[in-house]
Amino acid sequence: MRLPKAGTIEIAPSILSADFAKLADEIAVIESAGVSMVHLDVMDGHFVPNITIGPPVIAKLRKVSNLVFDSHLMISEPAKYAERFVEAGVDHITFHIEASVQAEMLIDKLHKLGVTAGICLNPDTPVEAIETVAPLCDMVLVMTVRPGFGAQNFIPEAAKKIIRVREIVGPDIRVEVDGGIDAQATPIVVSYGADTLVAGNAIFSKTDRIAAINAIRGAAG
| Contact of residue 70 among Zn ion, ligand DX5, none (CB under 5-8 Å per partner type) | none
Residue 16 CB, shortest distance to Zn ion, in Å, is 7
- The piece of 1-9, 84-92, 93-101, 150-158 that touches ligand DX5 (CB under 6 A) is 150-158
Residue 92 CB, shortest distance to Zn ion, in Å, is 12
Q: Which of residues 33-72 bind Zn ion (CB under 5 A)?
A: 41, 72
| Contact of residue 75 among Zn ion, ligand DX5, none (CB under 5-8 Å per partner type) | none
Q: Does 178 bind ligand DX5 (CB under 6 A)?
A: yes
Q: Which is nearer to ligand DX5, 107 or 198 (CB)?
A: 198
Q: HEC string of the chain?
A: CCCCCCCCCEEEEEHHHCCHHHHHHHHHHHHHCCCCEEEEEEEECCCCCCECCCHHHHHHHHCCCCCEEEEEEECCCHHHHHHHHHHHCCCEEEEEHHHCCCHHHHHHHHHHHCCEEEEEECCCCCHHHHCCCHHHCCEEEEECCCCCCCCCCCCHHHHCHHHHHHHHHCCCCEEEEECCCCCCCHHHHHHHCCCEEEECHHHHCCCCHHHHHHHHHHHHC
Q: Report the amino acid identity of residue 59.
A: A
| Contact of residue 200 among ligand DX5, Zn ion, none (CB under 5-8 Å per partner type) | ligand DX5
Residue 141 CB, shortest distance to ligand DX5, in Å, is 9
Q: Which is nearer to ligand DX5, 103 or 198 (CB)?
A: 198
Catalytic residue among 70, 91, 138, 178: 178
Q: Does 96 bind Zn ion (CB under 5 A)?
A: no
| Phi–psi pair at 142, nearest 5 degrees | -100, 120
Q: Does 76 bind ligand DX5 (CB under 6 A)?
A: no
Bridge partner list, 38: 69
Q: Please enumerate in sequence order all residues whose Cβ is within 8 A of that of 190, keeping only pairs 6 or more positions apart, or say none.
A: 9, 197, 220, 221
How many residues bind ligand DX5 (CB under 6 A)? The answer is: 22
Q: Does 147 bind ligand DX5 (CB under 6 A)?
A: yes
- Residues lying near Zn ion in the complex (CB under 5 A): 41, 72, 178
Question: Which residues carry out catalysis?
Answer: 41, 178
Sites of contact with ligand DX5 (CB under 6 A): 14, 16-17, 39, 41, 72, 145, 147-152, 178-181, 198-202
